[in-house]
Structure 1
Amino acid sequence: MNKTLTEAQIFELATSHGYNYKALKAIIQIESGQHGFSPVTGKLIIQFEPAWFKRLKKDWQNDTKHVIWQSNTVGDQTAEWKAFNNAFASDADAAMKSTSIGMMQLMGFHYAALGFNTVGQMWDFAKADEYNQVLLAIKWIKTVPALDKALKAKNWQKVAYYYNGENYRQYRYDSRLAAAYNTMDEFKKVNI
């Protein structure tokens, strides 16, 4: 079964939810380089966030056995999975909630807002394919009216603020989104 998202699927997801194809694709491109799964290992693309793990696992300092996760920074997927697996061994639920996943790098702690009973169910849904990963992010965007409105208006500063937080300027997230959008071609439907 092919897990890769097609251009036609991006177009369908965007237009069926009221978004511009190029705007949605710009987020996909900037968040994950257009990969929901590692081209090398086939594993789900993740970014483990130690700061969130510390918030969600109140007694994290008591666990002296699982400490590798504490030094995690933005790294390659091997490092991310090593840190995640170490945190998972300490507290699986908190580790999954503290990790952004897939093409749109959606945080696990959003699981309840998306209708899942557990964060594990959200992860399983995302592991199925890239289509599901983008669908999850769209559902989440719809739960943040200001983000939904900003994406429809292509207001990249507001999209960056609501999607990545107040420190978005540190990574030039807004200007990178705008550049991706402005250099992207429109979707051309091919009839076969």
Structure 2
Amino acid sequence: MKLTIGSKSQQVKDLQTTLNQKGASLDVDGWFGELTAAAVASYQRQVHLPITGYAGKRTMAVLNNEPRAKFLSLSDIELAATELDVSMATIAAVAEVESNGCGFFDCHRPSMLFERHVFYRQVSKKDKSLAAVLSQKYPNICNQKPGGYTGGSGEYQRFNIAYMLDKDAAIGACSWGMFQIMGYHFSLLGYESAEAFKLDMEMSERNQLLALVKFIKADTNMHKALKGHKWAEFAKRYNGPNYKKNLYDSKLSQAYADALEFMPESDNAAA
């Protein structure tokens, strides 16, 4: 769920009512306009959440007094910006476009997507004959072709079977957390094992963001493109050759412009 500019529903009314209880002065009309966006941003700043101006899963959870230990905070954005020597608005733009919005499913397990063709490839690196056998017995788990997606937390059903067959290959075959970082990158990111990477992704969105920092630092040209706001080059290196088809460069540019409206003044000055 994401309530943003233009949303109109009972959920928006409930959001406005809750924001008023937190100190806002909104008309409870069910229309998410500029004033509601400003109230959301003000609340996010007040409780040290990433400042977006829209209400997603993270903001709604905190508004409803749910535990927030696993959720990303504004200080985490600041830490990532410092580590990469970029502005907070730059990190916010990447988090907006290159993340799936929240690092955890409602079941509190880290968000992830299992790729059966990657599992096949990972197993093949160790034993091609085993990969062939598994592809015959478990075609939705081990397959040369992508597909078979369940979506959402249902992906854990396929992952659990793969994990019983080969733990490292299963972890490597998943894109993990907010930023969908493939598990097979664990060594590149400095983790001693695939299992250590998985455990880190299970801890918090902060750890997921810091994994992104490591991923960007591992590619000097990607890091340089990010620092220079060369969105096309950054998107090409992060998303691959189809970045243009999906307009990732345009989305990053717009997200950066939007983030400048909400980031602290000191961040705007540095941008």
| Post-superposition offset of 1:62 | 0.7
Identity of aligned residues (%): 30
Other-structure match for 2:118: 52
Greater relative CO (CA pairs within 8 A, separation 6+): 1
Structure 2 CA distance for aligned equivalents of residues 34 and 171 of structure 1 = 17
The AA in structure 2 aligned to 1:51 is H
Tell me, in whole angstroms, the C-alpha distance in 1 between the residues paired with 2:157 and 2:243. 26
> 2:264 is matched with which residue?
188
Q: Secondary structure at the match of 2:188?
A: helix
User: Equivalent residue of 2:257, what SS?
Assistant: helix
1: distance between equivalents of 2:80 and 2:176? 18
Mark the structure with the bigger radius of gyration: 2
TM-score computed with the length of structure 2 as normaliser: 0.63
How do 1:129-144 residues align onto structure 2 when only pairs under 5 Å count?
129-144=204-219
Distance in 2 (alpha carbons) for counterparts of 1:134 and 1:73 = 28
Q: Which runs of 5+ in 1 are unaligned?
A: none
Unaligned stretches of 5+ residues in structure 2: 1-67, 125-129, 266-271
Matched, 1:67 2:139: yes
Q: 1:145 aligns with which of 220, 225, 237?
A: 220
**Contact conserved, 1:111 with 1:117, CA < 8 A, in 2?**
yes
Q: How many residues align?
A: 188
Structure 1, residues 72-103: CA drift from partner, whole Å, max 9, x if none? 36663134223322322332211111211111
The residue number in structure 2 matching 1:124 is 199
8 A Cα contact 2:100 2:179, kept in partner: no
Give the counterpart letter for 1:187 in structure 2.
M
> Residue in 1 aligned with 2:3?
none
- Matched-pair contact (CA < 8 Å) for 2:163–2:171: yes
The one-letter code matched in structure 2 to 1:61 is A
Provide the secondary structure at the position in 2 that maps to 1:100. strand
Q: Which runs of at least 4 in structure 1 moved beyond 6 Å after TM superposition?
A: none
Give, as a single letter, the amino acid of the residue that structure 1 aligns with 2:208.
Q
CA pair 81-173 structure 1, distance change in 2 beyond 3 A: farther
1:22: how far off? Answer: 1.6
Give 1:35's aligned residue.
102
Aligned to 1:4: 71
C-alpha distance 176-80 of structure 1, shift in aligned 2 (>3 A): farther
Q: Is the 8 A contact 1:150 1:159 kept in 2?
A: yes
Q: RMSD between aligned alpha carbons?
A: 2.1
Aligned-partner residue type, residue 53 of structure 1: F
